[in-house]
Amino acid sequence: MNYAEVAVNSPGSRSTFSYAIPPGLNVDVGQAVWVPFGSRVIQGIVLQLSDEPSVEETKEIAGIVADSVLLSPIQTQLAQWISGYYFAPPFDALALMLPPGFERRAITYFQPTDSQVDLPLTPEQSQVLRVVREKRKASLPELEKVIGEREAKQITDQLLAFQLITKTLEAEKPKIMPKVVPYVRLIAGKGEIEPAKARLDKSRAYRQAQLLEFLTGRPQPVSIGELRKRLNCSLTTIKALESRHLVSVERLRIRRDPLSHLSLTTSPPPVLTPSQQVAWESIQEVIVKKARQPSKLPVFLLFGVTGSGKTEIYLQALAQVIAAGKRGICLIPEIALTQQTVERFAGRFPGRVAVLHSGLSLGEQFDEWQWIMSGNCDVVIGPRSALFAPLPDLGLIIIDEEHEWTYKQEDKSPRYHARDVAVKLAQLSGAIVVLASATPDIGSFHRAEQGEYQLVELKERITPRGYSPLPEVSVVDLREELKAGNTSLFSRSLLAAMKGTLAQGEQIVLFLNRRGTATFVRCRNCGFVFRCPRCSIALTYHSTEKRLICHRCRYSIPVSPSCPRCSRPCLRLLGIGTQRVEEETRHFFPGARLLRWDRDAITKRYTHEEVLTSFRDHKADVLIGTQMIAKGLDLPQVTLAGIINADTGLNFPDFRSSERTFQLLCQVAGRAGRGIKAGKVIIQTYSPDNYIIEAAAKHDYLGFYCKEIDYRRQYNYPPFSQLIRLVYSHADEESGHREAERVHRLVLGEKAKKGMIDFNVIGPVPTFAFRARGRYRWQLFLRGSDLTRMLSRLTLPRGWTIDVDPVGMV
Ligand code: ADP
Ligand code: ZN
């Protein structure tokens, strides 16, 4: 093969480029290479080899970055799928899989030749030649500093043509290197040690004798750091023993281990409960017998309430896969919140668990990566990006809390969803996937219902009391509180329950759904919410214009002083913060110890772990927090969970807002009563008959699902259609709007030309964060089937981003 298709590391390059392979250079698919690109030389990854180039004129590959192939065939195939499906530059997709610290620049160096000048040089040429000769080796950036960017390039080209200088290309210094530290090893033979000790004692070299004594009987070398700590031993002492040829000092590579601080207790697997056993057998059958139907995806949906023993199933499945000579990846929504999970895994598979996430130092990331690639660990745990760990022999991918939105990368390209990529990766590698949740994503449950995924259920909770019912949930109508003259955040029943719980010395969590607060307007008297008469979603308050705007169709009205339904002047912008909850709690319970857990508190004062640990150690009585509280935490001493206001999420202008709210309510409700005592949950709401609140109060996922899936079907939302979100951002509001309208017309024109019926466009509408970082953002949604084909025919100018299967619409 004489040509290579290369994905180049140049921002926004949507396609690969053809390069000729120079004679004598060995290049393979998955290899990192240096390629000329414009006036620079940059890194690229070879994706294909061919006999013919895809274009007429090609440049040559300039060199290889490393001898060995960097990415496996499965990885390069996966990257190509991601790039195609999510409309992302191929290099962006590949970058997910590259080792930490991979990205480097190439630096051009110039060296003088022995040739003499036999023609007159310009003053600039003379100047550059002088610098190169003085330095013996000068880099292009150095010359640019002397004479200017454009000139440096021109003049060095001229001097090269005169053969007065030569050019070499070198990679910039690596950002991160393996860590090596000095070790001391005993090399003296058995017979030499005693006489040597005697000699040392005699010459009063007691420290040397002590060190020799310490090393005797230690076949493994000991690091100098440890010798310093243990023996307070100085370098001089070591050097002295070295010069006597009794020990040698060598530099050894060490692994920067992010889990080294954990004090692990190894835990043998428990005997499965009968219902776990049933669930486990259906998964085990597929792992062991490979009894796979080719028509079916190798995907399980493990549906079970919090505390039903799902994690135990993951551990069993991993053990089984490992016994079969394979390995597994377990994705968790957010590493900061899952220290417990990591400890549980590391305790079950001691020394065989790697973690990968952005909170690690670059050195730790680098070492974990190498360790994973070497095949010396069996399990990788981490957030969505851990899916791309270079784990050989992948047999199992687990996605814990699969409904979580953090599995979708929204803020940068490629905007992938780890769940869908995991299913693709499983197909490519022959692995199986276990998706797990107490409140599965509507789309996932639908797939299971359709038989695409295999549904496995765990119905009961396991607690130290054995099986236990879910906590008792009561719903409080906040309108009644107001009528009774109670204007505080807490209803009378919540106050009473808090009082009782504190009197018992038990713990409380108070949950506030912050998402979407202060964005819609509601009447505190009758519960009325302004909605769009055309689209029926809640109108969003825009403070700059003082208007309520529909984010679907741009219908808008000014904010009126009184409620259109009951005429009372009770309209209120919704915005309650955790701070206010804290103040009111303090007011009612001055003696209670409070702990606030939100983004502000975390970044300013504590880490997630510190807050959690101190609450678990009962250093506080009440934990007040937002979304984070809802995540899978084990808080056994909590017996009361209060949801301050369940409605906030309901009125978010997004077809997924019901699903989202239901998931949050169920998760908070699941927090109470995980320990010895049964728990109680109080949901406060202005809309007690809303089906979402009703279903959440009964822990009735299926009831919710049936209503929700009907709604999705009726309005043709996913999973019955596909959505693609196109966002255009521009510094000028009107230009942004014009461009968005232009693309809207373009799409409609394309639709008419191809006669596509099952397809429509929503927008253009402003995004929820309309003005972000000085730019206005407009969005269009394409909805229908086969959108990929449609979209691949459009060429969108700079400024557009494409989000395939967006998790939100605002
Ligand atoms: P989930 O992942 O569904 O929240 P876990 O696997 O964490 O559930 O289980 C809940 C609790 O029950 C944990 O404390 C766990 O140690 C315990 N547990 C799970 N399976 C068993 C079992 N078979 N026998 C005894 N305890 C179990
Ligand atoms: Zn509308």
pLDDT digit string, tens, across residues 684-695: 998 888 889 989
Report pLDDT for 465.
62
Q: Per-residue pLDDT for 35 more than 90?
A: yes
Q: Which ligand is nearest to the CA of 330?
A: 1
What are the structure tokens assigned to 207, written together?
Answer: 């420290």
pLDDT tier for residue 644 given thresholds of 50, 70 and 90: confident
Residue 518: its pLDDT value, please? Answer: 46
Mean pLDDT of the chain: 85
pLDDT tens-digit profile of 343-391?
889 999 998 999 998 888 889 999 999 999 999 999 999 999 999 999 9
Cβ atoms of 7 and 77 within 8 Å: the answer is no
Q: Is the Cβ atom of 310 under 6 angstroms away from ligand 1?
A: yes
Between the CA of 461 and the centroid of ligand 1 the distance, in Å, is 8
CA-nearest residue, atom 23 of ligand 1: 272
Report the separation in Å between the CA atom of 474 and the middle of ligand 1, taken as the mean of its atom positions: 26
pLDDT of 2 strictly over 70: yes
CA-nearest residue for atom 14, ligand 1, is 463
Query: Of 786 and 336, which is predicted with more confidence?
Result: 786
Instruction: Provide the residue type at 525 as one letter.
Output: N
pLDDT at 292: 54
What is the model's pLDDT at position 388? 97
Residues lining ion ligand 2 (Cβ < 5 A) are 532, 534-535, 550, 552-553, 555
Considering 212-216, 226-230, 277-281, 547-551, the range whose residues carry the highest mean pLDDT is: 277-281
Q: Between these two residues, 263 and 468, which has the higher pLDDT value?
A: 263
From the CA of 679, how far away is ligand 1's center (Å)? Answer: 17
Whether residue 97 is predicted with pLDDT greater than 50 in this model: the reply is: yes
Rounded distance from Cα 607 to ligand 1 centre (Å): 26
CA–CA distance, 319 with 311 (Å, rounded to integer): 12
Q: Is 270 in the pocket of ligand 1 (CB under 6 A)?
A: yes
Chain center to CA of 316: 25
Are 724 and 779 in contact by the 8 Å Cβ rule? The answer is no
462 lines ligand 1 (CB under 6 A): yes
| CA contacts within 13 A on the Cβ side of 290 | 5
Q: How far is the CA of 809 from the centre of ligand 2 (A)?
A: 14
Q: How far is the CA of 597 from the centre of ligand 1 (A)?
A: 26
pLDDT digits (tens, 9 = 90+) for 576-628: 567 678 878 988 999 889 888 766 555 555 677 777 788 888 888 998 887 77
* Distance separating alpha carbons of residues 78 and 55, to the nearest angstrom: 25
- Which residue's C-alpha comes closest to atom 4 of ligand 1? 307
Atom nearest to 306 CA in ligand 1 = 4
Quote the CA–CA distance of 653 and 763 in Å, as a whole number: 14
pLDDT at 325 over 70: yes
Q: What are phi and psi of 782, to 5 degrees?
A: -100, 135
Which of these, 156, 158, 154, 155, lies nearest to 169 by C-alpha position? 156
Q: Does pLDDT of 463 surpass 90?
A: no
Confidence of residue 340 (pLDDT cuts 50, 70, 90): confident
Split at pLDDT 50, 70, 90, the class of 83 is: very high
Q: Which atom of ligand 1 is nearest to the CA of 304?
A: 3
Q: Ligand 1 pocket test: pick from 271, 277, 311 the residue with the most ligand atoms within 8 Å of its Cβ.
A: 311
CA distance 222 to 214: 10
pLDDT at res. 517: 41
Most confident of 117-121, 630-634, 714-718: 714-718
Does ligand 1 have an atom closer than 6 angstroms to the CB of 307?
yes
Q: For residue 539, what is the DSSP state?
A: P
At 573, is the secondary structure helix, strand, or coil? strand
Regarding predicted confidence, which is higher, 635 or 801?
801
Q: Which atom of ligand 1 is nearest to the CA of 632?
A: 4
Index of the ligand 1 atom closest to the CA of residue 271: 23
The whole-angstrom separation of Cα 674 and Cα 437 is: 17
DSSP states along 104-116:
--EEEEEEE-SPP
The 10s digit of each residue's pLDDT in 657-673 is: 889 889 888 888 777 66
By the 8 A CB rule, do 48 and 4 touch? Answer: yes
Over range 785-795, report the average pLDDT: 81
Residue 316 Cβ inside 6 Å of ligand 1? The answer reads no
Predicted local confidence at residue 653, as pLDDT: 66
Residue 311 near ligand 1, beta carbon < 6 Å: yes
Q: Output the CA 139–ligand 2 centroid distance in Å.
A: 60
